[in-house]
Amino acid sequence: MAKVRTQYVCSECGGSTPKWAGRCPACSAWNTLQESVVEAPRPAVASRFAPLAASGGVQMLDEVVATEVPRFSTGQEEFDRVLGGGMVPGSVVLIGGDPGIGKSTLLLQALAHLSQSLPVLYVSGEESPSQVAMRARRLGVDGSKVPMLPEIGLERIVAGIDAHKPAVVVVDSIQTLYTEQLTSAPGSVAQVRDCAAQLTRLAKQSGVSVVMIGHVTKEGTLAGPRVLEHMVDTVLYFEGDTHSSYRLVRAFKNRFGAVNELGVFAMTDRGLRGVSNPSALFLSQHDKQVSGSCVLVTQEGSRPLLVEVQALVDTAHVPNPRRLSVGLEPARLAMLLAVLHRHAGIACFDQDVFINAVGGVKIGEPAADLAVMLSIVSSLKDRPLPRGLAVFGEVGLAGEIRPSPRGQDRLREAAKLGFSKVIAPKSNVPKKPIEGLEVVAVERIDAALAAAWA
């Protein structure tokens, strides 16, 4: 019997080395090398670009016919928004999230809607047909036109797709599949990479839209090799607390739409339902104005959102005051406190500072700087901000207020939700006034503090 040869494959870049090392020699990532079996050479496979190669192989860009492909609506407006307007034929979508957060539920609802006009196929590698049928009945979806294939063998799945010829295929999940061409176990780096590559090749050849559900690690990233995210066209992440009824779907990669788009869903006893006014989820309802609360007008992809930023500043009882930020960038908090001290004369070196974005939303853009500063000052002085006030703007190290992208959309969203005053960077002030909205232009942090309580 021949001796089994092994090698170590990097889960980040897919590079291999014959010996284990703490650091990948290809991408320099630490602790990413995993042992795998060296596979035998595979028989040559004809390339799907063979006709193009036979005709010369090279084409000029102006000779290529670029046509606008119609998209499939999934029946979920929020899901279509994150996808860029719907599902593109021949696209490959990878969606990940924590267990039990609603990935299978959302896709089962989408398949039930698509099945009314298109042939679909649900490939289940984790659940039996009876389990999927029980979920469909619980959700109240019509599964009479949703064929199901309980299988984890890639070759049999491809044969089923060729026989059924669906327009949309859901694979639940990519980590459970295996191909007979490899001897490693399902879920290994080699199996996940090869199964995803073959499904992607199938989608591009036949025009079938493939949606793959992916597991996540304890760090919240997609399990498997990093190259998995590079293969697919769209990468979506499910966010939210499993104990809460609200879910967020965010696009981190999309070749057919804008990245960082956000879809908001509510989990009900009839499945996931889109939230038409997500700003209401991120605004607390106070009977009276409270200190340490400021409304931020943020931008998630093409959607403006109003989010309440809360701050709590309290006297520190330890030598090193604590700095904690939830939902906002923790690294910027120390910088903003230094700018507040230097350019506004407000010191917090002996205070514990806690920042929170209401509703569990994660804000990564620097336009939240001004709202964080105003909420800190409000809590420190125990002085509530006026009702009907919203703010946005990036704060520089010199104390200046920098403009934010898509300022007009932010202002219109604030006016639509009934806010009467917005403090914004001077460059974002509209040329024509917005009805019912007072826009205060500021250039420096001291002017913004004065305008907030004017």
Say if residue 354 is in the same domain as residue 390.
yes
Q: In the structure encoding, which two tokens stand for residue 6, read together? A: 């092994």
Domain contains 372: yes
pLDDT in tens, 185-226: 888 888 898 999 999 999 999 999 999 999 888 777 787 778
pLDDT in tens, 82-109: 999 999 999 999 999 888 888 999 999 9
pLDDT in tens, 118-131: 999 999 999 999 99
| DSSP3 helix / strand / coil % (the chain, rounded to 5) | 30, 25, 45
- 410: CB partners within 8 A, 6+ apart: 297, 298, 299, 304, 392, 404, 422, 424, 428
Say if residue 286 is in the same domain as residue 266.
no
By the 8 A CB rule, do 324 and 354 touch?
Answer: yes
> What one-letter code names the amino acid at 89?
P
Give the strand pairing for 389-391 and 421-425.
Answer: parallel
CA–CA separation, 229 and 3 (whole Å): 34
Say if residue 234 is in the same domain as residue 307.
no
CA–CA separation, 168 and 88 (whole Å): 10
Q: Omega before 173 cis (within 30°)?
A: yes
Say if residue 231 is in the same domain as residue 84.
yes
Instruction: Beginning with the edge strand found earlier in the chain, give each strand of the sheet holding 16-17 in spatial order.
Output: 16-17, 6-10, 33-37
CATH number at residue 314: 3.30.230.10
Measuring CA to CA, which residue among 42, 228, 25 is closest to residue 9? 25
**What residue has token string 């909420």?**
375
- Is it the case that residue 396 has pLDDT exceeding 90? yes
- Is it the case that residue 242 has pLDDT exceeding 70? no
Q: Backbone dihedral region of 325: left (phi > 0), alpha (psi from -120 to 50 degrees) or beta?
A: beta
Say if residue 151 is in the same domain as residue 133.
yes
Q: Which stretch of DSSP H or E encloses residue 407?
A: helix 407-416
What integer is the mean pLDDT of 61-70? 81
- 381: CB partners within 8 A, 6+ apart: 291
73 φ/ψ angles, rounded to the nearest 5 degrees: -85, 130
What integer is the mean pLDDT of 43-49? 46
Three-state DSSP state, 375: helix
Q: Which of 249, 276, 303 delimits the end of a domain? A: 276
Domain contains 136: yes
The domain of 355 spans: 281-452
Say if residue 132 is in the same domain as residue 197.
yes
In terms of C-beta density within 10 A (0-12 exposed, 13-18 middle, 19 or more buried), how is residue 317 classed? exposed
Query: Across-strand partners of 324?
Result: 354
pLDDT in tens, 397-428: 999 999 999 999 999 999 988 899 999 999 99
Q: Which of 261, 276, 291 delimits the end of a domain? A: 276
CA–CA separation, 231 and 193 (whole Å): 9
Say if residue 109 is in the same domain as residue 200.
yes
Measuring CA to CA, which residue among 153, 224, 221 is closest to residue 193? 224
Say if residue 264 is in the same domain as residue 300.
no
Three-state DSSP state, 440: strand
Instruction: Report the helix count and the strand count for the chain, using DSSP H and E.
Output: 11, 21
Say if residue 108 is in the same domain as residue 250.
yes
CATH number at residue 227: 3.40.50.300
Three-state DSSP state, 100: coil
In this prediction, residue 13 carries a pLDDT of: 77
CA–CA separation, 368 and 269 (whole Å): 35
pTM of the prediction?
0.75
Say if residue 235 is in the same domain as residue 334.
no
In this prediction, residue 170 carries a pLDDT of: 96
First to last CA, the chain: 85
Domain contains 51: no
Q: How confident is the model at residue 300 (pLDDT cuts 50, 70, 90)?
A: confident
Q: How confident is the model at residue 44 (pLDDT cuts 50, 70, 90)?
A: very low
pLDDT in tens, 360-387: 788 989 999 999 999 999 999 999 999 9
> Which is higher by pLDDT, 40 or 100?
100
What integer is the mean pLDDT of 294-308? 90
Q: How confident is the model at residue 38 (pLDDT cuts 50, 70, 90)?
A: low
Domain contains 59: no
Say if residue 355 is in the same domain as residue 300.
yes
Domain contains 50: no
Measuring CA to CA, which residue among 252, 214, 209, 208 is closest to residue 362? 252
Say if residue 386 is in the same domain as residue 364.
yes
Look at the chain and report how many structural domains it folds into.
Answer: 3
In this prediction, residue 14 carries a pLDDT of: 74
Q: What is the dihedral of CA 196, 256, 366, 393, to 10 degrees?
A: -160
Q: Which of 276, 297, 314 delimits the end of a domain? A: 276
Domain contains 193: yes
Domain contains 52: no
- Is it the case that residue 335 has pLDDT exceeding 90? yes
CA–CA separation, 232 and 380 (whole Å): 48
pLDDT in tens, 161-194: 999 999 999 999 899 999 988 888 888 888 898 9
Domain contains 64: no
- 104: CB partners within 8 A, 6+ apart: 127, 135, 172, 213
- 60: CB partners within 8 A, 6+ apart: none
